[in-house]
Amino acid sequence: MAGEGRPRAAERVSLSAGTHMRGKRILLGVTGGIAAYKSAYLVRELVRAGADVRVVMTEAATEFIAPLTFSALTKQPVGTDLWSRDQATGSAIGTRHIHLATWCDCMLIAPASANTLAKLAHGLSDNLVTVLALACRKPVIVAPTMDADMFLNEATQHNIAVLRERGFGVIPPAEGEHASGLYGPGRLPEVEVIRAFLKKLFDRTAEDLRKVKMLVTAGPTHEPIDPVRYISNRSSGKMGFALALAAAQRGAEVTLVTGPVSLETPRNVKRIDVETAEHMRAAVVKVARQQRVIAMAAAVADYAPALPADRKIKKDGQNGGLELTLKSTPDILGELGRKKRKGTLLVGFALETNDGVSNAKEKLSKKNLDVIVLNAYTAQNPVFGSDRNTVTIIDRKGEEELPSLEKIEVANRILNRIRKLL
């Protein structure tokens, strides 16, 4: 039969494969690594899912895959060089890409090389990818991808931990065989895994607390005995920082007043560092009036030395011991409760070793709070320093006992409750 076996004329077909990314603006940063070639497939799938994708590359990435590939897949120009110029006018083309930082709904860096992760952790901005990551206030997600030994190196692990603490999304690498022949973690995860991560992010970032002004306190306080010694407690600040991060991710305008901790400042959060309960009170009172929500997660010291010495107290001459007179610190939450204005939502935290729920309920009404979060302090739930926590969220209508969860998840559950009460 005439024509049989001959290829048919090309038809225009829709690349669409679902709508779950319809209209989502994704800025993809591609950095140097053998897995860069896989990003082409990733782009294709994101476009098929309805996303609007723009690509920027580091110079090293262009050694592994040509910008033209991404340009053909996205039908958009691809930024590779911060300093490139329009030959006719001499104006900088590269810097025009900066608008992508505000254009996008999220920035995804995949593959994210060890080098780029190190730059991000330190805020370096020497190429288009790092400039845009630094300028972007939307979620930034990295997919660390490199040879297994580079991934497992302490420096890389530290940089990833820093980024995670600041609130970058981290897609853990897959394990398997590497181009080098090594076997281990560091491979770019399957496109499906990355796509699912993004979908979850878009589902979660409903921005349901958009523009809500929220004050969070965190950490312990240090109450000086003399210039070199102090009284404090075991609070790490992790719960308060998680609350600040989660609120900022949901669109709130967050001020974080924190005692001395060693934690990275979450992205898009205004941080104020204080030392003592008195300092914390002053910082809180100063900004309290503008807040819609105030959550006091700090473990403020209840007592402070009444008369801190202005010189180091000598060891000798104390007759083998030292007596300190302590005074009560200001009850910040109590004061906020007394002065509470209509429309302000006040959230307190409590840590009890016994009769938790009844004590917390009593505190809720005594301190004029809207919500109190009870930390269940047990051997299994040490609260302080841990990345997990078991809490009961109590308001005037009832209580919700949560299982042991990551602190960021606990934070989101607390925010869900706050959201309902707003």
- Show which residues are catalytic: 233
Alpha carbon of 125 to those of 111, 139, 221, 356, 358: distances in Å? 17, 17, 35, 49, 53
Of 331 and 409, CB closest to ligand C5P: 331
Q: How far apart are CA 66 and CA 78, in angstroms?
A: 10
Of 248 and 350, CB closest to ligand C5P: 350
SS3 content of the chain, % helix, strand, coil (to 5): 35, 25, 40
Q: Of 419, 414, 407, whose CA–CA distance to 237 is shortest?
A: 407
Interface with ligand C5P, residue 142, by CB under 6 A: no
Compute the radius of gyration of the chain from its Cα atoms: 26
**What phi-psi label fits residue 247: left (phi over 0), alpha (psi between -120 and 50 degrees) or beta?**
alpha
* Interface stretch with ligand C5P, choices 24-32, 130-138, 328-336, 378-386 (CB under 6 A): 328-336
Alpha helix (H) residue ranges in 79-237: 100-103, 114-122, 128-135, 148-152, 154-166, 191-204
Query: Which residue of 117, 300, 371, 410 would you call a contact of ligand C5P, by CB under 6 A?
Result: 300
Q: C-beta of 198: minimal distance to ligand C5P in Å?
A: 36
Of 82 and 284, CB closest to ligand C5P: 284
Q: C-beta of 377: minimal distance to ligand C5P in Å?
A: 11
Q: C-beta of 402: minimal distance to ligand C5P in Å?
A: 18
CB 128 within 8 A of CB 80: yes
Interface with ligand C5P, residue 329, by CB under 6 A: yes
Q: How far apart are CA 122 and CA 158, in angstroms?
A: 11
Q: What is the dihedral of CA 184, 189, 193, 194, to 10 degrees?
A: 140
* Interface stretch with ligand C5P, choices 183-191, 244-252, 298-306, 399-407 (CB under 6 A): 298-306
Interface with ligand C5P, residue 333, by CB under 6 A: yes
Go through the chain and tell me how many residues it has: 422
Task: Map the footprint of ligand C5P across residues 200-229, applying CB under 6 A.
Answer: 217
Interface with ligand C5P, residue 257, by CB under 6 A: no
Interface with ligand C5P, residue 350, by CB under 6 A: yes
Residue 25 phi, psi dihedral angles, 5° rounding: -100, 110
* Interface stretch with ligand C5P, choices 5-13, 87-95, 257-265, 293-301 (CB under 6 A): 293-301
Interface with ligand C5P, residue 247, by CB under 6 A: no
Of 249 and 276, CB closest to ligand C5P: 276
Q: C-beta of 260: minimal distance to ligand C5P in Å?
A: 15
Interface with ligand C5P, residue 394, by CB under 6 A: no
* Interface stretch with ligand C5P, choices 146-154, 166-174, 251-259, 292-300 (CB under 6 A): 292-300
Tell me how far the alpha carbon of residue 176 is from its chain's centroid.
Answer: 28
* Interface stretch with ligand C5P, choices 6-14, 308-316, 327-335, 396-404 (CB under 6 A): 327-335
Helix axes 67-74, 36-48, angle to 10 degrees: 0
Interface with ligand C5P, residue 296, by CB under 6 A: yes
# binding residues, ligand C5P (CB under 6 A): 15
Sequential DSSP letters for 131-163: HHHHH--S-EEEEE-S-HHHHHSHHHHHHHHHH
Interface with ligand C5P, residue 294, by CB under 6 A: no
Query: Which residue of 278, 331, 399, 409 would you call a contact of ligand C5P, by CB under 6 A?
Result: 331
Tell me how far the alpha carbon of residue 72 is from its chain's centroid.
Answer: 34
Interface with ligand C5P, residue 349, by CB under 6 A: yes
Interface with ligand C5P, residue 275, by CB under 6 A: no
Interface with ligand C5P, residue 163, by CB under 6 A: no
Interface with ligand C5P, residue 302, by CB under 6 A: yes
Interface with ligand C5P, residue 167, by CB under 6 A: no
Edge-to-edge strand ranges of the sheet holding 213-218? 269-273, 253-258, 213-218, 293-296, 345-352, 371-376, 391-395, 399-401
CB 236 within 8 A of CB 385: yes
Q: C-beta of 398: minimal distance to ligand C5P in Å?
A: 20
HEC string for 170-183: ECCCEEEECCCCCE
* Interface stretch with ligand C5P, choices 102-110, 151-159, 194-202, 296-304 (CB under 6 A): 296-304
Query: Which residue of 51, 239, 256, 277 would you call a contact of ligand C5P, by CB under 6 A?
Result: 277
Q: Which residues are at the interface with ligand C5P (CB under 6 A)?
A: 217, 277, 296, 298, 300, 302, 329-333, 348-350, 363
